[in-house]
Protein backbone atom coordinates (compact mmCIF):
# COMPACT_ATOMS: atom_id res chain seq x y z
CA UNK A 1 0.00 0.00 0.00
CA UNK A 2 2.72 2.48 1.03
CA UNK A 3 5.00 1.24 -1.71
CA UNK A 4 2.28 1.69 -4.33
CA UNK A 5 1.34 5.17 -3.12
CA UNK A 6 4.98 6.25 -3.03
CA UNK A 7 5.52 4.99 -6.56
CA UNK A 8 2.31 6.65 -7.75
CA UNK A 9 3.33 9.99 -6.26
CA UNK A 10 6.74 9.66 -7.92
CA UNK A 11 5.02 9.09 -11.27
CA UNK A 12 2.78 12.13 -10.59
CA UNK A 13 5.81 14.30 -9.88
CA UNK A 14 7.64 13.07 -12.97
CA UNK A 15 10.51 11.56 -10.95
CA UNK A 16 12.87 9.67 -13.24
CA UNK A 17 13.19 6.08 -12.07
CA UNK A 18 15.83 3.60 -13.20
CA UNK A 19 14.15 0.29 -12.35
CA UNK A 20 16.96 -1.94 -13.62
CA UNK A 21 19.96 -0.09 -12.15
CA UNK A 22 21.82 -1.60 -9.23
CA UNK A 23 24.11 0.68 -7.19
CA UNK A 24 27.47 -1.00 -6.67
CA UNK A 25 29.42 1.62 -4.68
CA UNK A 26 29.17 5.02 -2.98
CA UNK A 27 31.83 7.61 -3.71
CA UNK A 28 33.15 9.64 -0.77
CA UNK A 29 36.44 11.53 -0.85
CA UNK A 30 37.71 14.13 1.58
CA UNK A 31 34.46 14.34 3.48
CA UNK A 32 32.40 15.00 0.37
CA UNK A 33 30.01 12.64 -1.40
CA UNK A 34 30.42 12.64 -5.18
CA UNK A 35 27.68 10.18 -6.16
CA UNK A 36 27.46 6.46 -6.91
CA UNK A 37 28.54 3.90 -9.45
CA UNK A 38 25.65 1.82 -10.78
CA UNK A 39 25.38 -1.33 -12.88
CA UNK A 40 22.70 -1.23 -15.56
CA UNK A 41 21.52 -4.82 -15.21
CA UNK A 42 19.64 -4.71 -18.50
CA UNK A 43 22.69 -4.01 -20.70
CA UNK A 44 25.56 -4.66 -18.29
CA UNK A 45 27.28 -1.27 -18.40
CA UNK A 46 28.76 0.50 -15.37
CA UNK A 47 27.55 4.06 -14.93
CA UNK A 48 29.16 6.72 -12.73
CA UNK A 49 26.39 8.99 -11.40
CA UNK A 50 27.71 12.38 -10.31
CA UNK A 51 25.49 14.07 -7.75
CA UNK A 52 25.57 17.01 -5.35
CA UNK A 53 23.21 15.12 -3.09
CA UNK A 54 22.98 11.37 -2.60
CA UNK A 55 20.21 9.98 -0.41
CA UNK A 56 20.09 6.31 0.58
CA UNK A 57 16.77 4.66 1.40
CA UNK A 58 18.15 1.18 0.89
CA UNK A 59 16.48 -0.68 3.77
CA UNK A 60 17.74 -2.94 6.51
CA UNK A 61 20.23 -5.80 6.61
CA UNK A 62 17.86 -8.66 7.52
CA UNK A 63 19.42 -11.13 5.08
CA UNK A 64 22.68 -11.06 6.98
CA UNK A 65 20.73 -13.45 9.23
CA UNK A 66 19.53 -16.85 8.03
CA UNK A 67 16.11 -16.44 9.62
CA UNK A 68 14.66 -13.05 8.71
CA UNK A 69 11.23 -11.67 7.92
CA UNK A 70 12.86 -9.30 5.39
CA UNK A 71 12.66 -9.51 1.62
CA UNK A 72 15.46 -11.40 -0.13
CA UNK A 73 16.84 -8.10 -1.39
CA UNK A 74 17.29 -6.67 2.13
CA UNK A 75 20.97 -7.49 2.17
CA UNK A 76 22.05 -4.27 3.84
CA UNK A 77 24.39 -3.61 0.92
CA UNK A 78 23.47 0.10 1.01
CA UNK A 79 24.65 0.28 4.63
CA UNK A 80 27.77 -1.68 3.65
CA UNK A 81 28.48 0.70 0.75
CA UNK A 82 28.21 3.76 2.99
CA UNK A 83 30.49 2.13 5.58
CA UNK A 84 33.06 0.98 3.02
CA UNK A 85 33.13 4.48 1.52
CA UNK A 86 33.87 5.94 4.97
CA UNK A 87 30.53 6.97 6.47
CA UNK A 88 30.13 5.88 10.11
CA UNK A 89 27.46 3.41 11.28
CA UNK A 90 25.66 3.66 14.62
CA UNK A 91 24.36 1.07 17.12
CA UNK A 92 24.70 -1.86 14.73
CA UNK A 93 24.36 -4.40 17.58
CA UNK A 94 20.70 -3.43 18.11
CA UNK A 95 18.83 -5.99 16.00
CA UNK A 96 15.15 -6.69 16.49
CA UNK A 97 13.93 -10.29 16.45
CA UNK A 98 10.26 -10.88 15.87
CA UNK A 99 8.82 -13.74 17.93
CA UNK A 100 6.45 -15.22 15.35
CA UNK A 101 7.77 -16.01 11.88
CA UNK A 102 6.63 -18.93 9.72
CA UNK A 103 9.21 -21.73 9.52
CA UNK A 104 10.90 -22.15 6.13
CA UNK A 105 10.33 -18.70 4.65
CA UNK A 106 10.27 -16.76 7.98
CA UNK A 107 7.37 -14.68 6.70
CA UNK A 108 5.97 -12.47 9.46
CA UNK A 109 2.96 -13.80 11.35
CA UNK A 110 1.98 -10.40 12.63
CA UNK A 111 1.10 -9.30 16.16
CA UNK A 112 -2.51 -9.24 14.97
CA UNK A 113 -2.65 -13.01 15.64
CA UNK A 114 -1.82 -12.65 19.31
CA UNK A 115 -3.87 -9.45 19.42
CA UNK A 116 -6.90 -11.50 18.39
CA UNK A 117 -6.10 -14.03 21.11
CA UNK A 118 -3.77 -16.63 19.58
CA UNK A 119 -1.91 -18.94 21.99
CA UNK A 120 1.77 -19.83 21.99
CA UNK A 121 2.08 -23.53 22.80
CA UNK A 122 5.09 -25.84 23.30
CA UNK A 123 5.40 -29.58 22.68
CA UNK A 124 3.91 -30.30 26.14
CA UNK A 125 0.70 -28.61 25.02
CA UNK A 126 1.47 -25.83 27.49
CA UNK A 127 0.83 -22.10 27.04
CA UNK A 128 4.39 -21.46 28.21
CA UNK A 129 4.10 -17.67 28.46
CA UNK A 130 2.39 -18.18 31.84
CA UNK A 131 5.77 -19.24 33.26
CA UNK A 132 7.54 -16.11 32.00
CA UNK A 133 5.12 -13.16 31.96
CA UNK A 134 1.81 -14.28 33.52
CA UNK A 135 0.44 -10.74 33.51
CA UNK A 136 0.86 -10.09 29.79
CA UNK A 137 1.06 -13.69 28.49
CA UNK A 138 1.31 -13.72 24.67
CA UNK A 139 1.01 -9.93 24.55
CA UNK A 140 4.39 -9.23 26.19
CA UNK A 141 6.83 -7.13 24.07
CA UNK A 142 8.56 -8.61 21.03
CA UNK A 143 12.00 -9.03 22.55
CA UNK A 144 10.65 -10.81 25.63
CA UNK A 145 8.37 -13.18 23.68
CA UNK A 146 11.25 -13.94 21.29
CA UNK A 147 13.48 -14.90 24.22
CA UNK A 148 10.73 -17.07 25.75
CA UNK A 149 10.16 -18.96 22.49
CA UNK A 150 13.91 -19.39 21.96
CA UNK A 151 14.24 -20.73 25.52
CA UNK A 152 11.46 -23.27 24.93
CA UNK A 153 13.19 -24.42 21.73
CA UNK A 154 16.67 -24.49 23.32
CA UNK A 155 15.42 -26.51 26.30
CA UNK A 156 13.78 -29.16 24.12
CA UNK A 157 10.17 -28.12 24.43
CA UNK A 158 9.84 -27.14 20.77
CA UNK A 159 8.83 -29.19 17.75
CA UNK A 160 11.09 -30.56 15.00
CA UNK A 161 10.46 -30.07 11.30
CA UNK A 162 12.77 -30.34 8.27
CA UNK A 163 12.29 -26.58 7.86
CA UNK A 164 13.30 -25.77 11.43
CA UNK A 165 12.68 -26.07 15.16
CA UNK A 166 9.59 -24.22 16.29
CA UNK A 167 6.68 -23.77 18.69
CA UNK A 168 3.00 -23.47 17.78
CA UNK A 169 1.01 -20.31 17.22
CA UNK A 170 -2.46 -21.69 17.77
CA UNK A 171 -5.46 -19.88 16.30
CA UNK A 172 -7.89 -22.78 16.28
CA UNK A 173 -9.87 -21.75 19.35
CA UNK A 174 -10.72 -18.44 17.66
CA UNK A 175 -12.95 -20.35 15.26
CA UNK A 176 -13.22 -20.30 11.47
CA UNK A 177 -15.45 -17.21 11.37
CA UNK A 178 -13.07 -14.97 13.31
CA UNK A 179 -10.00 -16.26 11.47
CA UNK A 180 -11.63 -15.61 8.08
CA UNK A 181 -12.87 -12.17 9.09
CA UNK A 182 -9.97 -10.83 11.09
CA UNK A 183 -6.88 -12.75 9.91
CA UNK A 184 -7.47 -13.66 6.25
CA UNK A 185 -3.92 -12.64 5.27
CA UNK A 186 -2.36 -14.86 7.93
CA UNK A 187 -4.48 -17.78 6.78
CA UNK A 188 -3.55 -17.23 3.10
CA UNK A 189 0.16 -17.07 3.91
CA UNK A 190 -0.01 -20.26 6.01
CA UNK A 191 -1.77 -22.11 3.20
CA UNK A 192 0.28 -20.72 0.29
CA UNK A 193 3.69 -20.93 1.94
CA UNK A 194 3.45 -23.99 4.15
CA UNK A 195 0.28 -25.80 3.14
CA UNK A 196 -1.19 -25.39 6.65
CA UNK A 197 -4.69 -24.09 7.37
CA UNK A 198 -4.75 -22.31 10.76
CA UNK A 199 -8.46 -23.12 11.10
CA UNK A 200 -7.58 -26.79 11.52
CA UNK A 201 -3.88 -26.79 12.44
CA UNK A 202 -1.53 -24.71 14.60
CA UNK A 203 1.03 -22.55 12.75
CA UNK A 204 4.71 -23.57 13.23
CA UNK A 205 6.64 -20.43 14.13
CA UNK A 206 10.09 -19.43 15.35
CA UNK A 207 11.75 -16.07 16.13
CA UNK A 208 13.45 -14.33 13.21
CA UNK A 209 15.41 -11.17 12.55
CA UNK A 210 12.91 -8.43 11.79
CA UNK A 211 14.32 -4.92 11.97
CA UNK A 212 17.65 -3.12 11.89
CA UNK A 213 17.63 -0.47 14.62
CA UNK A 214 21.20 0.50 13.82
CA UNK A 215 22.41 1.88 10.51
CA UNK A 216 24.08 4.81 8.80
CA UNK A 217 24.71 7.45 11.48
CA UNK A 218 22.54 10.48 10.66
CA UNK A 219 21.08 13.36 12.64
CA UNK A 220 17.40 14.34 12.88
CA UNK A 221 17.73 15.97 9.44
CA UNK A 222 18.87 12.61 8.00
CA UNK A 223 22.27 14.16 7.21
CA UNK A 224 25.40 12.07 7.74
CA UNK A 225 28.72 13.65 8.67
CA UNK A 226 29.69 13.43 4.99
CA UNK A 227 28.67 16.53 3.04
CA UNK A 228 26.11 15.67 0.40
CA UNK A 229 25.26 12.24 1.81
CA UNK A 230 21.92 11.60 3.52
CA UNK A 231 20.08 8.46 4.58
CA UNK A 232 16.57 7.69 5.77
CA UNK A 233 14.42 4.72 6.71
CA UNK A 234 15.72 1.43 8.01
CA UNK A 235 19.21 1.82 6.53
CA UNK A 236 19.71 4.92 8.66
CA UNK A 237 20.01 5.34 12.39
CA UNK A 238 18.52 8.59 13.65
CA UNK A 239 18.09 6.64 16.88
CA UNK A 240 14.37 7.16 17.32
CA UNK A 241 14.08 3.47 18.19
CA UNK A 242 16.92 3.29 20.67
CA UNK A 243 17.68 -0.37 21.27
CA UNK A 244 14.20 -1.70 20.61
CA UNK A 245 11.71 -0.51 18.01
CA UNK A 246 8.04 -0.44 18.90
CA UNK A 247 5.61 -2.02 16.40
CA UNK A 248 4.43 0.48 13.79
CA UNK A 249 7.29 2.91 14.39
CA UNK A 250 9.06 2.02 11.16
CA UNK A 251 6.41 4.24 9.56
CA UNK A 252 7.95 7.08 11.50
CA UNK A 253 11.21 6.51 9.65
CA UNK A 254 9.66 6.16 6.22
CA UNK A 255 7.08 8.93 6.37
CA UNK A 256 8.25 11.50 8.92
CA UNK A 257 11.96 11.26 8.24
CA UNK A 258 11.42 10.94 4.48
CA UNK A 259 9.86 14.37 4.59
CA UNK A 260 12.41 15.82 7.01
CA UNK A 261 15.23 14.56 4.78
CA UNK A 262 13.65 16.20 1.73
CA UNK A 263 13.31 19.50 3.58
CA UNK A 264 16.89 19.32 4.85
CA UNK A 265 18.27 18.55 1.40
CA UNK A 266 16.24 21.38 -0.10
CA UNK A 267 17.54 23.74 2.55
CA UNK A 268 21.17 22.64 2.18
CA UNK A 269 21.04 22.99 -1.59
CA UNK A 270 19.48 26.45 -1.66
CA UNK A 271 20.80 28.22 1.45
CA UNK A 272 24.42 27.17 1.33
CA UNK A 273 25.13 25.66 -2.07
CA UNK A 274 26.96 22.36 -1.84
CA UNK A 275 30.36 22.11 -3.52
CA UNK A 276 30.32 20.66 -7.00
CA UNK A 277 31.12 16.96 -6.92
CA UNK A 278 34.23 15.88 -8.72
CA UNK A 279 34.28 13.53 -11.66
CA UNK A 280 37.73 12.08 -11.01
CA UNK A 281 37.03 10.15 -7.79
CA UNK A 282 33.91 8.73 -9.42
CA UNK A 283 35.80 7.54 -12.46
CA UNK A 284 38.46 6.01 -10.19
CA UNK A 285 35.72 4.17 -8.28
CA UNK A 286 34.17 2.99 -11.54
CA UNK A 287 37.57 1.52 -12.53
CA UNK A 288 37.78 -0.22 -9.16
CA UNK A 289 34.34 -1.80 -9.60
CA UNK A 290 35.25 -2.70 -13.16
CA UNK A 291 38.37 -4.50 -11.87
CA UNK A 292 36.36 -6.19 -9.10
CA UNK A 293 33.81 -7.55 -11.58
CA UNK A 294 36.59 -8.72 -13.87
CA UNK A 295 38.24 -10.55 -10.95
CA UNK A 296 34.95 -12.19 -9.96
CA UNK A 297 34.54 -13.42 -13.54
CA UNK A 298 38.02 -14.93 -13.84
CA UNK A 299 37.94 -18.68 -14.42
CA UNK A 300 39.10 -21.07 -11.71
CA UNK A 301 37.88 -19.14 -8.68
CA UNK A 302 36.38 -21.98 -6.67
CA UNK A 303 34.45 -20.24 -3.91
CA UNK A 304 30.75 -19.40 -4.30
CA UNK A 305 28.99 -16.40 -2.77
CA UNK A 306 25.92 -18.45 -1.82
CA UNK A 307 28.01 -20.72 0.42
CA UNK A 308 29.47 -17.74 2.23
CA UNK A 309 25.98 -16.26 2.51
CA UNK A 310 24.60 -19.51 3.97
CA UNK A 311 27.40 -19.81 6.54
CA UNK A 312 27.23 -16.16 7.47
CA UNK A 313 23.44 -16.35 7.93
CA UNK A 314 23.62 -19.51 10.06
CA UNK A 315 26.38 -18.03 12.25
CA UNK A 316 24.53 -14.75 12.75
CA UNK A 317 21.23 -16.45 13.64
CA UNK A 318 22.88 -18.98 15.99
CA UNK A 319 25.54 -16.85 17.65
CA UNK A 320 24.51 -13.22 17.22
CA UNK A 321 20.78 -13.81 17.64
CA UNK A 322 18.14 -13.57 20.35
CA UNK A 323 20.67 -14.62 23.05
CA UNK A 324 24.31 -13.57 22.97
CA UNK A 325 27.41 -14.50 25.00
CA UNK A 326 31.02 -13.39 24.69
CA UNK A 327 32.16 -16.94 23.82
CA UNK A 328 29.67 -17.32 20.97
CA UNK A 329 30.22 -13.79 19.70
CA UNK A 330 33.97 -14.41 19.59
CA UNK A 331 33.33 -17.63 17.67
CA UNK A 332 31.12 -15.69 15.27
CA UNK A 333 33.90 -13.15 14.80
CA UNK A 334 36.41 -15.90 13.95
CA UNK A 335 33.95 -17.43 11.47
CA UNK A 336 33.41 -14.02 9.91
CA UNK A 337 37.13 -13.36 9.52
CA UNK A 338 37.46 -16.76 7.85
CA UNK A 339 34.54 -15.97 5.52
CA UNK A 340 36.12 -12.63 4.56
CA UNK A 341 39.26 -14.53 3.64
CA UNK A 342 37.26 -17.04 1.60
CA UNK A 343 35.41 -14.22 -0.13
CA UNK A 344 38.64 -13.30 -1.90
CA UNK A 345 38.33 -16.52 -3.88
CA UNK A 346 34.68 -16.07 -4.87
CA UNK A 347 33.94 -16.44 -8.55
CA UNK A 348 30.85 -16.32 -10.76
CA UNK A 349 29.95 -18.79 -13.53
CA UNK A 350 29.59 -16.27 -16.31
CA UNK A 351 31.33 -13.04 -17.32
CA UNK A 352 28.05 -11.76 -18.79
CA UNK A 353 27.04 -8.59 -16.95
CA UNK A 354 23.37 -8.20 -17.81
CA UNK A 355 20.73 -9.95 -15.70
CA UNK A 356 23.54 -11.82 -13.98
CA UNK A 357 22.08 -12.27 -10.52
CA UNK A 358 24.95 -14.47 -9.41
CA UNK A 359 27.22 -11.47 -10.03
CA UNK A 360 24.92 -9.10 -8.13
CA UNK A 361 24.76 -11.57 -5.23
CA UNK A 362 28.56 -11.78 -5.18
CA UNK A 363 28.92 -7.98 -5.16
CA UNK A 364 26.38 -7.67 -2.34
CA UNK A 365 27.99 -10.47 -0.35
CA UNK A 366 31.12 -8.39 0.22
CA UNK A 367 29.04 -5.62 1.77
CA UNK A 368 27.06 -8.11 3.87
CA UNK A 369 30.28 -9.37 5.43
CA UNK A 370 31.20 -5.79 6.39
CA UNK A 371 27.77 -5.14 7.90
CA UNK A 372 27.95 -8.39 9.88
CA UNK A 373 31.42 -7.46 11.12
CA UNK A 374 30.11 -4.20 12.65
CA UNK A 375 27.14 -6.00 14.25
CA UNK A 376 29.35 -8.64 15.87
CA UNK A 377 31.94 -6.15 17.16
CA UNK A 378 29.26 -3.89 18.62
CA UNK A 379 27.63 -6.89 20.29
CA UNK A 380 30.93 -8.05 21.79
CA UNK A 381 31.76 -4.62 23.18
CA UNK A 382 28.34 -3.85 24.67
CA UNK A 383 28.64 -5.77 27.94
CA UNK A 384 25.08 -5.24 29.12
CA UNK A 385 21.54 -6.17 28.05
CA UNK A 386 19.49 -3.39 26.56
CA UNK A 387 16.32 -3.69 24.47
CA UNK A 388 16.81 -6.29 21.77
CA UNK A 389 20.49 -6.81 22.63
CA UNK A 390 20.49 -9.56 25.27
CA UNK A 391 23.76 -10.85 26.74
CA UNK A 392 23.42 -14.01 28.83
CA UNK A 393 26.72 -13.05 30.49
CA UNK A 394 25.58 -9.49 31.26
CA UNK A 395 21.87 -9.81 31.87
CA UNK A 396 21.13 -6.36 33.21
CA UNK A 397 21.05 -2.91 31.77
CA UNK A 398 23.99 -0.74 32.76
CA UNK A 399 23.30 2.96 32.21
CA UNK A 400 26.41 3.92 34.14
CA UNK A 401 28.75 2.57 31.48
CA UNK A 402 26.56 1.93 28.48
CA UNK A 403 24.04 4.70 28.00
CA UNK A 404 25.92 5.59 24.82
CA UNK A 405 25.97 4.83 21.11
CA UNK A 406 28.54 2.64 19.40
CA UNK A 407 29.96 4.12 16.20
CA UNK A 408 31.64 1.83 13.67
CA UNK A 409 34.07 3.21 11.09
CA UNK A 410 36.15 1.29 8.63
CA UNK A 411 39.72 1.35 9.97
CA UNK A 412 42.94 1.65 7.97
CA UNK A 413 43.40 -2.15 8.16
CA UNK A 414 39.90 -2.69 6.74
CA UNK A 415 38.45 -3.87 10.06
CA UNK A 416 35.86 -1.79 11.92
CA UNK A 417 37.08 0.58 14.62
CA UNK A 418 34.42 1.18 17.26
CA UNK A 419 34.11 4.44 19.16
CA UNK A 420 31.35 5.88 21.34
CA UNK A 421 29.00 8.81 21.15
CA UNK A 422 26.88 10.46 23.83
CA UNK A 423 23.12 9.88 23.75
CA UNK A 424 21.13 13.05 23.08
CA UNK A 425 18.60 13.41 25.91
CA UNK A 426 15.41 15.28 25.13
CA UNK A 427 12.10 15.29 26.96
CA UNK A 428 12.24 11.85 28.56
CA UNK A 429 14.95 10.28 30.67
CA UNK A 430 15.42 6.69 29.55
CA UNK A 431 14.56 4.16 32.23
CA UNK A 432 14.45 0.43 32.56
CA UNK A 433 11.29 -1.39 31.52
CA UNK A 434 9.83 -3.26 34.50
CA UNK A 435 7.07 -5.80 34.84
Known catalytic residues? Answer: 98, 114
Burial of 242 (0-12, 13-18, 19+ CB in 10 A): middle
Among 46, 133, 163, 252, binds another protein (CB under 8 A): 163
Tell me if 25 sits within 8 A of 84, measured CB to CB: yes
Stretch that binds another protein, among 75-83, 122-130, 188-196, 317-325 (CB under 8 A): 188-196
Q: Which residues contact 50 (CB under 8 A, 6 or more apart)?
A: 34, 35, 277, 279, 282
Q: Is 355 in the site for another protein (CB under 8 A)?
A: yes
The shares of helix, strand and coil residues in the chain, as percent rounded to the nearest 5, are: 40, 20, 40
What are the C-alpha distances in Å from 181 to residues 67, 139, 186, 231?
A: 29, 21, 11, 39
- Judged by CB under 8 A, the chain residues 301 through 320 that form the site for another protein are 304, 306
Stretch that binds another protein, among 152-160, 186-194, 210-218, 337-345 (CB under 8 A): 186-194
Among 31, 45, 71, 139, binds another protein (CB under 8 A): 71
Among 148, 183, 186, 189, binds another protein (CB under 8 A): 189
Among 24, 66, 356, 374, binds another protein (CB under 8 A): 356
Stretch that binds another protein, among 140-148, 185-193, 238-246, 255-263 (CB under 8 A): 185-193
> Which residue, 217 or 364, has its beta carbon nearer to another protein?
364
Partners of residue 295 on adjacent β-strands = none
SS3 247: coil
- Judged by CB under 8 A, the chain residues 77 through 116 that form the site for another protein are 103-105, 107
Among 112, 255, 352, 392, binds another protein (CB under 8 A): 352
Tell me if 191 sits within 8 A of 149, measured CB to CB: no
- Report the alpha-carbon distance of residue 217 to residue 89 in Å, rounded: 5
Using CB under 8 A, count the residues that bind another protein.
34
Q: Which residues contact 245 (CB under 8 A, 6 or more apart)?
A: 96, 211, 213
> Which residue, 39 or 103, has its beta carbon nearer to another protein?
103
Q: Is 8 in the site for another protein (CB under 8 A)?
A: yes
3-state secondary structure string, 5-46?
HHHHHHHHCCCCCCCCEEEEEEEEECCEEEEEEEEECCCCCE
Q: Which residues are at the interface with another protein (CB under 8 A)?
A: 1, 3-4, 8-9, 11-12, 19, 42, 71-73, 103-105, 107, 162-163, 189, 192-195, 304, 306, 348-350, 352, 354-358
Amino acid sequence: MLLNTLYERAVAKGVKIYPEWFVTALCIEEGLCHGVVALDTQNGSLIPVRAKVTFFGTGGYGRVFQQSTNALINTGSGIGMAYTAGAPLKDMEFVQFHPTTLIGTNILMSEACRGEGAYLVNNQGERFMQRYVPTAMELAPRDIVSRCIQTEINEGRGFDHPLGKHVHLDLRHLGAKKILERLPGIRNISIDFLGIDPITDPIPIQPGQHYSMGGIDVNARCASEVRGFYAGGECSCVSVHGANRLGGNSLLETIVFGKLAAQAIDEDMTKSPLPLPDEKPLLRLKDEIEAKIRRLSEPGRGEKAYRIHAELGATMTEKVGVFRTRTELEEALQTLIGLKERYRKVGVSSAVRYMNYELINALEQEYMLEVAHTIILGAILREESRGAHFRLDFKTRNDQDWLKHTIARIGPDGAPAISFKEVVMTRYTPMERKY
